[in-house]
């Protein structure tokens, strides 16, 4: 699995394992620019495709606007689902559409946050999509 | 996970031959269902043939309808302007299903082939005739709140989980396949089967038969999908309903209705029940009568009798909303139209 | 001294968390690490007759197979740790040590651990282990169970008796002009933190003896160190538990010890460091759960709504090897002024996995039952639900008679009413609609005990001007790194950037298990005291230095200001901390502190309070319930960081919402196997379930809890929310639903 290859072989542990069955979103990465679940992706099937993980989002010290917004709005607590949330959110905002709170609720529902920082996640994404 | 070999398909014929030659081989595309069940130890193929290189990823016009390539992602199909405009039920069913990530990955061809969400099927330690023929059905006398009220057998009471399949059944889509015996065209309502004595067989496809496209026939009516679930999003249907309605002036020319979450396959209403609508003016009383008739033969288990009032109410509402007697709960072709109850928050209030 | 404390600062570990750099337990890069997979029991009761591991041992990459046949012998768990009773009725944890015999007490019980060089190989080999059982029929229902008990106390706490009668509730109920008796039931729920349980265990030789390092998802590193040392027969100093980040706990990851014990044993057998990451499916068997409850609430009142009697009787369950009892009367015992008060807890032992605390243990579901019964009583008396509560407002603790340390609940009700527009609603049930949905408003009181425990901390000032404060507490999303750094920076009169706070390591000064919403009140004062102590040490150093401008000054004439020690009378006379250390040729100066709550605990009753108001939309045709809005106002003392506090409270609210509307674990009633065992079937709230939330707090410091005035906030959001929602569903529909969760089937069934 791509998730295990990232975590165990490449030691890129920013991508998280929450359920290992596509039921929580913690393992979200970008595959060819779209959000996808690395726990349900065979590493061998992603050959030749562009994969971005949370580690590849910031430019050096400069955080991605979504990362900035997550910190500013405290859009997480324990931080474990956070990389997946941020990967899903960055994929969402890249089309520059201004989504309503209801649309964000629906589009981001595949990323479970048991700390339930959801209200702050909505605020962070709304800010990031304005950026 | 059972160790498995992996092979990239070079063309459809080769892929079909590779799987057909080996009873323990399987196709893989989006992987969202296949790999999930392999990790559970429910599916144990020893050869995976990756059909994504076949690039069945186009959506094209076909005899006034649309041909949806089996490799098209759920996201791409749901957001395709022609699908959204002409086959709202398809977009609604897709967008009310799973999550953004899964819709990005999952293929249209794989979607109707999802296996049941019956928890006993998904746990290799439990008896299940679908997973292990002859081991018994643990759900029958067990926890069966999410199980079938139509068409079940004493071997299996599982339901089919795909939302898309319910919409395709109501729209009388056709499934194009290529298999060991050449190509076939299957009316969608005939793709899935009832469990009977062989619940291990979800569909009428032969081993090694590959879905190449889902064809939507010409349709100039309105279609709509409604789904009830236990949380506001990212959950399988308790009950769902797809309606395809064609009008003749103020009267119904043809109405087709399929229910999800109630049977081993998308539960297309019997022709005589659908016929109750033909030539009539849409109205709540009529729809209630149809719903009563549709559920007259339902056979609930210990924990799922609620599906009868839920299904009846849903069917009535789906007909009212499709016929315009009640407003949709969100823009046609979106998850908001499909999600009964909508998302939480004041913003969702109309 | 309050430059940082109380400010809504961004989380100091935010950058680590948004870049994926925060390291969780399964993510330590330990050389030569092997991977483990578990074989679990498929039956709920009986014993293992045979365990065939030949195929597993022969599978590629397999290093060892641990089972009862070859597991190291473990000593029994300690009777008590840190004042918490572990064993016996009312005790906290599972008393049976893993893999010491063949007995099976629940389905999903670990029977063997397979260690291999890769995770895939370990999992595959585990699937090859064949187990045969001598099966017995499991006992799985409260009603028919053969083993029952009436535990005396909750986890051995003498102040928390589980069977209590004050006055004569029975007679008072019989004589009351208005009587109401209702049964409320709640389902088994699971914490399901998104980070599953995980342990890495490494054995080494150190100083001629064995040394065990554990990287474990533990919110009680000290506790776990003691449990591991006792179980393995090692001196405590030979075990170190490390956990700088926890991916959520909510009551899990604290009190059940089989996972780290299994990993340590597997590592010893394999002769290599071993990582054991549990699957989500296993979280429904080894991670603890909130047990189901069957609660009978009896209220007796006068016609004008004065409570005369309250009796709250709970039936709940634990496993065969645990005495943990969900303390459902925690709210009933203290919330209202009622002269005749009784409660009881009957515990049944079932062949199900062991329970443990879950956010708001007792309060969440027990408070739900009480606050629903109060709503029913209000309806019976045609009183406004808020008014009924005001008529029974408790000015002192009704069970103990002690005064509250600080209580401003009336203000919470008032403000909450205004926020939601309570008086604008039509109070009649089924009277409000939006589109095709019914609309309802509901409210409930919430509370949470404000605990404080003993703790230690150490503060160190370095010659380069930086400082470090340490305590073995935990970061589980509670903002511990942030608020204790804020408090420490103020305690040291240093800017935030120059202070670090370290936690999550049993080698650090002792701190209790993080739980019971007690961390702020416990660690905050310890950190402050350590800061004071290190500054005192520095003052003494300066006073002795001939060249120091503070030479010869009286200790209490000196104060710390902006990173300098200066004379109180003349701030221009002084110097920065580093100068003093450099002159003394010291790299650092350090001091510890050991603090504990004092007599105030005997004098006052410490609680937080709040009022929760909600608006729901009910789609009656489908049984779907959605929360439109939640407005809650809390009296929780002073907040250390309103930003992180807000997150913690709304997180609690959402967990309460989950318990109310959707969370439920089912076990097969015949076999005891979990049939809800993944996150597709166990619904935790998603973003789409999030209402518009307005959360406020009064911000009135508690004058007695500690010098910080801060009570805890981790759980109070979870309490109150379930009853507010349930009462709102009644207002919307006219239906009283008395069984959690309120899934669509229940509304349709009526």
Report the residue from A8, A11, A105 with minimal CB separation from C690: A105
Burial (Cβ within 10 Å: 0-12, 13-18, ≥19) of residue A47: exposed
Q: Please, what's the largest Cα pairwise distance for chain C?
A: 85
Distance separating alpha carbons of residues C410 and C388, to the nearest angstrom? 12
For the question of residue C715 being annotated catalytic, the response is: yes
Task: Assess if residue C725 is contained within a domain.
Answer: yes
Q: Per residue in C522-558, pLDDT tens?
A: 999 999 999 999 999 999 999 999 999 999 999 999 9
Cβ distance C676 to B119 less than 8 Å, yes or no, reads: yes
Q: Per residue in C596-643, pLDDT tens?
A: 999 999 999 999 999 999 999 999 999 999 999 999 999 999 999 999
- φ, ψ of residue C372 to 5 degrees: the values are -75, -40
Q: C365 in contact with A at a CB cutoff of 8 Å?
A: no
> Domains in chain C: how many in total?
2
* C-alpha torsion sign, points C726, C732, C735, C741: negative
> Are the C-beta atoms of residues C461 and C538 closer than 8 Å to each other?
yes
Distance separating alpha carbons of residues C532 and C521, to the nearest angstrom? 17
Q: C108 in contact with B at a CB cutoff of 8 Å?
A: no
Q: What is the pLDDT of residue A131?
A: 81
Q: Per residue in C137-177, pLDDT tens?
A: 999 998 888 999 999 999 999 999 999 999 999 999 999 99
Distance separating alpha carbons of residues C675 and C667, to the nearest angstrom? 5
Which residues have C-beta within 8 Å of that of residue B248, sequence separation ≥ 6? none
Q: Residues C608, C744: one domain?
A: yes
Q: What is the pLDDT of residue B347?
A: 63
- Letter string b/e over residues C696-716, b meaning 16 or more CB atoms within 10 A of that residue's CB: bbbeebbebbbebbbbbbbbb
Q: Which domain holds residue A89?
A: 2-130
Shortest CA gap B243–chain C (Å): 17
Q: Inter-axis angle of helices C642-661 and A118-130, to 10 degrees? A: 120
Report the residue from B125, B141, B344 with minimal CB separation from C628: B344
Q: Per residue in B157-195, pLDDT tens?
A: 999 999 999 999 999 999 999 999 999 999 999 999 999
Shortest CA gap C221–chain B (Å): 32
Residue of A nearest to C192 (CA): A114
Cβ distance C23 to A13 less than 8 Å, yes or no, reads: yes
Cβ distance C120 to A19 less than 8 Å, yes or no, reads: no
Q: C730 in contact with A at a CB cutoff of 8 Å?
A: no
Report the residue from C124, C615, C666 with minimal CB separation from B3: C124
- Average predicted confidence (pLDDT) for chain C: 97
Give the architecture (CATH level 2) of B222-348: 2-Layer Sandwich (3.30)
Q: What is the pLDDT of residue B2?
A: 72
Distance separating alpha carbons of residues C173 and C150, to the nearest angstrom? 23
Confidence of residue C3 (pLDDT cuts 50, 70, 90): confident
Set of chain A residues whose Cβ sits within 8 Å of the Cβ of B124: none
Over its C-alpha atoms, chain B yields an Rg (Å, rounded) of 20
Q: C572 in contact with B at a CB cutoff of 8 Å?
A: no
CA C127, distance to chain mean position in Å, is 34
Q: Residues C491, C543: one domain?
A: yes
Report the residue from C437, C626, C666 with minimal CB separation from B344: C626
Residue A91 is part of a domain; what is its CATH number? 1.10.150.120
Set of chain B residues whose Cβ sits within 8 Å of the Cβ of C624: 228, 340-341
- φ, ψ of residue C78 to 5 degrees: the values are -60, 150
Residue of C nearest to A119 (CA): C690
Is residue B349 predicted with pLDDT exceeding 50?
Answer: no
- φ, ψ of residue C424 to 5 degrees: the values are -85, -10
Residues of each domain in chain B carrying CATH 3.30.390.50: 222-348
Cβ distance C749 to B125 less than 8 Å, yes or no, reads: no
Cβ distance B102 to A37 less than 8 Å, yes or no, reads: yes
Q: C14 in contact with A at a CB cutoff of 8 Å?
A: yes
Cβ distance B142 to C688 less than 8 Å, yes or no, reads: no
Q: Per residue in C66-82, pLDDT tens?
A: 999 999 999 999 999 98
Residue C518 is part of a domain; what is its CATH number? 3.30.365.10
Q: What is the pLDDT of residue B350?
A: 43
Q: Residues C636, C736: one domain?
A: yes
Q: Last residue of some domain: C596, C612, C646? A: C596
Cβ distance A101 to B31 less than 8 Å, yes or no, reads: no
Helix, strand or coil, per DSSP, at residue B298: coil
> Are the C-beta atoms of residues C65 and C71 closer than 8 Å to each other?
no
> Are the C-beta atoms of residues C115 and C33 closer than 8 Å to each other?
no
Q: Per residue in C39-55, pLDDT tens?
A: 999 999 999 999 999 99
Q: Residues C540, C670: one domain?
A: no
Average pLDDT, integer, range C283-289: 98
Look at residues B241, B2, B262 and name the one whose alpha carbon lies nearest to residue B116: B262
Q: Last residue of some domain: C596, C630, C662? A: C596
Report the residue from B117, B303, B340 with minimal CB separation from C622: B340
Q: A70 in contact with C at a CB cutoff of 8 Å?
A: yes
Average pLDDT, integer, range B235-262: 98
Which residues have C-beta within 8 Å of that of residue B188, sequence separation ≥ 6? B165, B168, B169, B171, B172, B173, B174, B175, B214, B266
> Domains in chain A: how many in total?
1
Q: Per residue in A77-121, pLDDT tens?
A: 999 999 999 999 999 999 889 999 999 999 999 999 999 999 999
Q: What angle do CA C357, C360, C362 make, to 5 degrees?
A: 75
Q: Per residue in C181-215, pLDDT tens?
A: 999 999 999 999 999 999 999 999 998 999 999 99
Is residue C119 predicted with pLDDT exceeding 50?
Answer: yes
Set of chain A residues whose Cβ sits within 8 Å of the Cβ of B32: 22, 37, 40
Shortest CA gap C93–chain B (Å): 27
Task: Quickly count: other Cβ atoms within 10 Å of residue C130's Cβ.
Answer: 12
Q: Residues C493, C606: one domain?
A: no
* ipTM of the complex, rounded to two decimals: 0.99
Distance separating alpha carbons of residues B324 and B305, to the nearest angstrom? 30
Shortest CA gap B50–chain A (Å): 8
> Are the C-beta atoms of residues C117 and C187 closer than 8 Å to each other?
no
Is residue B348 predicted with pLDDT exceeding 50?
Answer: no
Strand (E) or helix (H) holding C487: helix C480-492
Set of chain C residues whose Cβ sits within 8 Å of the Cβ of A27: none
Q: C141 in contact with B at a CB cutoff of 8 Å?
A: no
> Are the C-beta atoms of residues B130 and B43 closer than 8 Å to each other?
no
Q: What is the pLDDT of residue C2?
A: 56
Q: Per residue in A38-47, pLDDT tens?
A: 999 999 998 8
Task: Spell out the alpha helix ranges (H) of C160-296.
Answer: 169-175, 221-232, 258-270
Which of A28, A30, A44, A45 best tests the B interface by mutation, with the highest count of B CBs <10 A?
A45
Q: Which domain holds residue C506?
A: 453-596
Q: B136 in contact with A at a CB cutoff of 8 Å?
A: no
Helix, strand or coil, per DSSP, at residue C686: coil
């Amino acid at each position: 699995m791509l998730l295990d290859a990232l975590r165990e072989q490449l030691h890129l542990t920013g991508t998280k394992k929450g359920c290992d069955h596509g039921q929580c979103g913690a393992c979200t990465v970008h595959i060819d620019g779209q959000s996808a679940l690395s726990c349900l992706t065979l590493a061998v099937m992603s050959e030749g495709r562009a994969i971005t993980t949370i580690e590849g989002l910031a430019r050096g010290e400069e955080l991605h606007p979504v990362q900035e917004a997550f910190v500013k709005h405290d859009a997480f607590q324990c931080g474990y689902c956070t990389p997946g949330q941020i990967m899903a959110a960055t994929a969402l905002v890249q089309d520059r559409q201004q989504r309503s709170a209801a649309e964000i609720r629906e589009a981001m529902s595949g990323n479970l946050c048991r700390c339930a920082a959801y209200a702050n996640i909505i605020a962070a994404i709304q800010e990031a999509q304005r950026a | 996970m059972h160790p498995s070999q992996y092979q990239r398909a070079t063309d459809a014929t080769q892929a079909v031959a590779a799987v057909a030659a080996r009873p323990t081989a399987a196709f893989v595309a989006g992987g969202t269902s296949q790999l999930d069940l392999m990790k559970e130890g429910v599916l144990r193929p020893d050869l995976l043939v990756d059909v994504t290189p076949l690039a069945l990823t186009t959506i094209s016009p076909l005899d006034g309808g649309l041909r949806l390539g089996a490799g098209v992602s759920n996201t791409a199909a749901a957001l395709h302007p022609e699908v959204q405009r002409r086959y709202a039920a398809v977009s609604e069913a897709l967008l009310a299903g799973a999550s953004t990530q899964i819709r990005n990955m999952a293929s249209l061809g794989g979607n109707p082939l999802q296996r049941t969400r019956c928890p006993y099927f998904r746990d290799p330690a439990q008896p299940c005739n679908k997973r292990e023929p002859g081991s018994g059905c643990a759900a029958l006398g067990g926890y069966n709140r999410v199980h079938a009220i139509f068409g079940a057998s004493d071997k299996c009471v599982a339901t089919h989980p795909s939302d898309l399949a319910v919409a395709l059944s109501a729209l009388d889509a056709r499934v194009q396949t290529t298999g060991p015996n050449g190509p076939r065209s299957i009316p969608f309502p005939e793709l899935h089967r009832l469990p009977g004595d062989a619940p291990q067989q979800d569909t009428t496809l032969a081993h090694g038969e590959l879905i190449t496209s889902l064809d939507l026939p010409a349709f100039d009516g309105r279609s709509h999908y409604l789904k009830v679930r236990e949380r506001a999003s990212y959950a399988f249907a308790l009950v769902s309903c797809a309606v395809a309605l064609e009008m003749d002036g103020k009267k119904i020319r043809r109405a087709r209705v399929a229910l999800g979450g109630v049977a081993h396959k998308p539960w297309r209403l019997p022709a005589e029940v659908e016929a109750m609508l033909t030539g009539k003016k849409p109205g709540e009383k009529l729809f209630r009568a149809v719903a009563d008739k549709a559920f007259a033969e339902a056979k609930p288990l210990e924990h799922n009798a609620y599906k009868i009032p839920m299904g009846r109410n849903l069917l009535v509402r789906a007909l009212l909303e499709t016929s315009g007697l009640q407003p949709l709960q969100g823009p046609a072709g979106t998850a908001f139209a499909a999600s009964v109850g909508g998302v939480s928050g004041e913003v969702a209030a109309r | 001294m309050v430059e940082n404390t109380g400010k809504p600062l961004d989380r100091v570990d935010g950058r680590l968390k948004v870049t994926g750099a925060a390291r969780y337990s399964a993510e330590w890069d330990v050389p030569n690490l092997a991977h483990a997979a578990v074989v679990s029991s498929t039956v709920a009761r009986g014993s293992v007759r045979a365990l065939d591991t030949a195929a597993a041992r022969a599978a590629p990459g397999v290093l060892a197979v641990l089972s009862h046949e070859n597991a190291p012998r473990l000593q029994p768990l300690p009777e008590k740790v840190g004042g918490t009773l572990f064993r016996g009725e009312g005790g906290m944890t599972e008393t049976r040590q893993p893999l010491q015999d063949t007995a099976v007490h629940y389905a999903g019980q670990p029977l063997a651990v397979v260690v291999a060089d890769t995770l895939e190989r370990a999992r595959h080999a585990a699937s090859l282990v064949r187990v045969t059982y001598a099966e017995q029929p499991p006992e799985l229902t409260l009603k028919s169970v053969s083993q029952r008990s009436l535990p005396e106390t909750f986890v051995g706490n003498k102040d928390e008796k589980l069977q209590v009668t004050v006055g004569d509730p029975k007679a008072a109920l019989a004589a009351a002009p208005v009587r109401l008796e209702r049964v409320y039931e709640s389902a088994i729920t699971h914490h399901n933190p998104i980070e599953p349980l995980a342990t890495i265990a490494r054995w080494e030789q150190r100083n001629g003896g064995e040394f065990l390092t554990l990287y474990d998802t533990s919110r009680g590193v000290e506790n776990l160190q003691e449990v591991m040392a006792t179980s393995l027969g090692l001196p405590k100093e030979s075990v170190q538990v490390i956990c700088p980040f926890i991916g959520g706990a909510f009551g899990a990851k604290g009190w059940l010890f089989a996972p780290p014990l299994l990993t340590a044993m597997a590592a010893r057998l394999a002769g290599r460091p071993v990582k054991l990451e549990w699957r989500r499916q296993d979280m429904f068997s080894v991670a603890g759960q909130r047990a189901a409850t069957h609660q009978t609430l009896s209220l007796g009142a006068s016609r004008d709504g004065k409570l005369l009697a309250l009796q709250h009787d709970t039936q709940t369950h634990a496993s065969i090897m645990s005495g943990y009892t969900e303390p459902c009367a925690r709210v009933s015992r203290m919330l209202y002024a009622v002269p005749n008060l009784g409660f009881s807890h009957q515990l049944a032992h079932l062949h199900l996995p062991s329970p443990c605390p879950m956010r708001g243990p007792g309060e969440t579901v027990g408070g739900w039952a009480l606050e629903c019964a109060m709503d029913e009583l209000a309806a019976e008396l045609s009183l406004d639900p808020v008014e009924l509560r005001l008529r029974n407002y408790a000015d002192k603790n009704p069970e103990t008679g002690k005064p509250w340390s600080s209580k401003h609940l009336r203000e919470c009700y008032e403000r909450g009413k205004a926020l939601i527009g309570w008086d604008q609603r039509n109070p009649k049930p089924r009277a409000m609609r939006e589109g095709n949905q019914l609309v309802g408003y509901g409210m409930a009181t919430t509370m949470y005990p404000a605990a404080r425990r003993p703790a230690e901390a150490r503060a160190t000032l370095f010659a380069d001007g930086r400082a470090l404060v340490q305590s073995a507490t935990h970061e589980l999303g509670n903002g511990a790194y942030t608020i204790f750094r804020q408090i420490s920076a103020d305690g040291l009169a240093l800017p935030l950037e120059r202070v670090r706070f370290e936690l999550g390591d049993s080698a650090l000064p002792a701190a209790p298990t993080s739980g019971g919403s007690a961390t702020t009140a416990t660690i905050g004062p310890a950190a402050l005291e350590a800061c004071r102590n290190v500054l005192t040490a520095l003052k003494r150093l300066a006073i002795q230095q001939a060249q120091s401008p503070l030479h010869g000054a009286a200790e209490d004439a000196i104060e710390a200001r902006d990173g300098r020690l200066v004379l109180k009378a003349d701030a221009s006379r002084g110097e920065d901390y580093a100068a003093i250390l450099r002159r003394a040729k010291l790299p650092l100066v350090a001091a510890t502190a050991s603090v504990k709550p004092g007599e105030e605990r005997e004098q006052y009753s410490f609680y937080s309070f709040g009022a929760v108001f909600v608006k729901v939309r009910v789609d009656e045709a489908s049984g779907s319930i959605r929360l439109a809005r939640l407005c809650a106002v809390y009296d929780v003392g002073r907040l250390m960081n309103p930003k992180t506090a807000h997150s913690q409270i709304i997180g609690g609210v959402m967990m309460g919402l989950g318990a109310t509307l959707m969370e439920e674990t089912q076990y097969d009633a015949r076999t005891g196997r979990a049939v809800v065992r993944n996150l597709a079937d166990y619904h935790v709230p998603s973003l789409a379930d999030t209402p518009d939330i307005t959360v406020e707090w009064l911000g009135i410091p508690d004058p007695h809890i500690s010098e910080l005035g801060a009570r805890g906030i981790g759980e109070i959001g979870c309490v109150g929310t379930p009853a507010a929602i349930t009462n709102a569903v009644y207002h919307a529909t006219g239906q009283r639903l008395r069984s959690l969760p309120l899934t669509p089937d229940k509304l349709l069934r009526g």
